[in-house]
Structure 1
Amino acid sequence: MKKKLLSLSFLIAAFSASAQNMTTSVAPSVAQQEYNKWSLELNGGVNKPMRAITPGYSTSTLNPFHADLGVRYMFSPKFGVKLDVGYDQFKERDNTPDFESRYVRASLQGVINLGRALNFETWTNTVSVLAHGGFGVSQISTETGPGGQDYMAHGIMGLTGQIKLSNRVALTGDLTGIVNGRQNWNFDGMGNTTTGSLDGVLLNASVGLTFYLGKNEKHADWVGEEDRISELEKRVDLVETGLLDTDKDGVADLYDLEPNTITGVAVNTKGQSIDNNQNGVPDELESYLDKTYEKKGSGTITNNTVEELINGGYVNVYFDFNSSKPTNASLSGVDFLVKYLKNNPGKSADIIGYADEIGSSSYNTELSRKRAEAVKKVAVNAGIDASRLNVVANGEDTSVNKKSKEARQIVRRVTFQVK
């Protein structure tokens, strides 16, 4: 019986333990967007109307108040478009006649990222410049003088300096010029313009913040050629490595949801071993075991044999370095335990966590507890009552060579004892 158990254990171990260095997540798309494209811009500052002011009237050289709010979309790291609205207020300076007027506009503008176009990333990753320009509509309104309200079209152009504060926020400084077409009233509202078709000229100077929106790490404003080349290299590597068939099951790793299948076991089109009765053992392997070893009337592997395998440490769940999240492929170990406990409702199990020797003993004890708790949560979510599962933190496993990366991987595990 011991020889039979040893042979059976070896076969099951090949199925369960080989999972420790693998993951079974779906391969990411090579066309995945690698940077964010949307941003929100908020600015405030001063203005100066340069033309169409009634003689004798004047604003301060740096006249408050100007505000601007915009949303921007970048088609690429170099080119984009933005829609923004602006508000300006004009008041007299000292020793000039009183007046008060307001200017509002809405503009659609193209954007060129000069920092990326001129390869600023070769000398800085925190400073850039945007050029923007376009057209829009605007209105001047005043409650002093005969002006009332005046509606116009305008052209707009400016430069925005950027300093990146983080991947989500940039500090900006902007200088913008606006030229109004067919402006009928001066900016002070006190008289008619006399300069022709392009009557009003206004300068805005402001500082503000740009907020980057999206789930990716970087925004297009800060993606340089080196980033794009690196991303292309990653995509090429993904294709090259993804076409390999590590477990020789006929399904490329790029599409293989179970890239550690036992050699020779039949798989479906997704590379998963076929297990029609859902007992955790591939049907082809189970058929061999059924023919080779003792069976009970049900025609399945005996419960005593399965229990001996679990308690003998042949069924494990593995973890990456310093992680309390089970590797996806080794979740088959949890599935093995879950199916056993469901078939044996009178049984319970200790879930025993381990860590390697890297780090302090107290830290590793806590890490082993977190690993056991994570496995317990998976089992509970799979339908096992929490009262049947007991977490044990065994801390460091010192049975392997501490200097061996491969050996340390073996002891970063959770194992089970059923009773």
Structure 2
Amino acid sequence: MKKLFTLTILFFSLVAAAQTEDATSSEINENATFQRWAIDVGAGVHKPTRPFVDGYVSTPDLWQADLGVRYMFTRSFGVGLEFGYNNIQSDADASVTFESDYYRVGLEGIVNLGDFVNLKSASSRFGILGHGGIGVGFLTSNARTLTDATDHHLNFTAGIAPQYRVTKNIAVFTDLTIIGTTRNHYGWDGAVLGTEVRGFEGLMINASVGLTFYLGEGTDPADFAQDPIEAKVDAIAAQMEKMAIENADDDQDGVPNYLDRDNTTESGVRVDSKGRAIDMNKNGIPDDMESSLNARYASQSDVQTAINSANAANQNQIKQLINEGYVNVYFRFNSTKPTTYSLGAINTIVQYMKDHPSATATLTGFADEIGSPEYNKSLSERRAKMVSDVLAAAGIDASRLTQNGDGEDASVDKNSTDARQLVRRVTFKVN
């Protein structure tokens, strides 16, 4: 029993050290992160082993119950006040029958063993507590008469309690506690001992199952609270992940997403500080793409000049310009909304159709090679339908318009962003 006494002294030493730790760790401010108070209610079986005089208990017996109130100075250390009761009855086949009641109260030190073995890294629901302390006990016997009516004991306890957290404020626990007593004048059977027992001759083992209820402010109970340093590491990791997401640059224009006003800018096009393509003449075409467009297709001003000349000379020239692909509606990547600089082309078609009431038009949509063929087929059809809807809204009878989608236009270099801009379009054929 000397080991039991040594273990109890060690528990209280650890609790005292915990108070020092709590003071020195104020800069972490862990005090506000967990619930300090807990109430433990348990019941189960017990096995008193000695001392007995006439009777005995050969198997674990019902009933024993305990109630504990504890307070945690830190996540790892605390103190508790425990109240216990044991009903000790002789075996049914014993020659001497007895029934004794043992009441006890004690002060214990609490150690969160799960915190020391880093159990929370495996699961946030499992825990394990160690406890030990000193107290007093009172033995009475219903079947036998004690000379002093009540036998007073000094007892020492040590135990271990695995836990499982059920809800935020409730946990289930099992507990195994060893109780050693001294100053025994009577045995557990209520019979007087020949002489006063010296040392820790009284011994009882309790096994309990119960519930823990957590009280107080805080996000988690002390038994399951996260280490404050680990919490800071997790917070920093989350912040770094957030920064990585915010500083991502989906369109690779050099402007992070959280500052980018236009996150669909073509690669290689110069942008301003807000990720918008530079367009000095405000014609809706990025300056870095105008030369490529002009190299293959007539510019808006060239088309308008040709149209004006055609109106003056021969209306057939307008039809020729349209049917030979000089009048197109262009689109941004993966978009069905016509670009601003394509409004002139739409206006040209509207004007031609109004000038020729019997004319019909076929609209054909195209997409570049980025993406699956099936998706691009659908995208080209939706582009043609969008332009058809715009013409109808401008006063052209929808029965005069036919639209279809030809899918991908593979006539340009797939790896050239400028070239791909040229094939994202809707063309026209008028009759």
TM-score, normalization by structure 2: 0.45
* Largest Rg, 1 or 2: 2
Q: Structure 1 length as normaliser, TM-score?
A: 0.47
Bigger relative contact order, structure 1 or 2 (CA pairs below 8 A, ≥6 apart)? 1
